[in-house]
Copies of this chain bind each other. A is one copy, B any other.
Amino acid sequence: MSKTVITAEPGVPQVIITRDFDAPRDLVFRAHTDPHLLVQWLGPRDLTMTIDCYDVRNGGTWRYVHQDAKGHEYGFHGVFHGTPSPDAIVATFEFEGAPGHVKLDTTTFEQRGGTTLMRTISSFQSVQDRDAMVASGMERGVRDSGERLEELLARLEAR
| A-to-B contact residues, CB < 8 Å | 11-14, 59, 61, 79, 81-82, 87-88, 90, 92, 94, 99-100, 102-104, 106, 121, 123-126
Contact = CB atoms under 8 A, between A and B. Distances in A.
Given A81-B92, A82-B94, A104-B123, 15 more contacts: A12-B12, A13-B123, A59-B79, A79-B92, A81-B94, A81-B102, A82-B99, A82-B100, A87-B100, A90-B125, A92-B92, A104-B104, A106-B125, A121-B126, A123-B124
Nearest to A91: B102
A111 to B, nearest CB: 19
Q: Is the interface of A mostly helix, strand, loop or mixed?
A: strand
A11 B126 CA distance: 14
Nearest to A90: B102
Nearest to A126: B121
Contacts of A90: 100, 102, 125
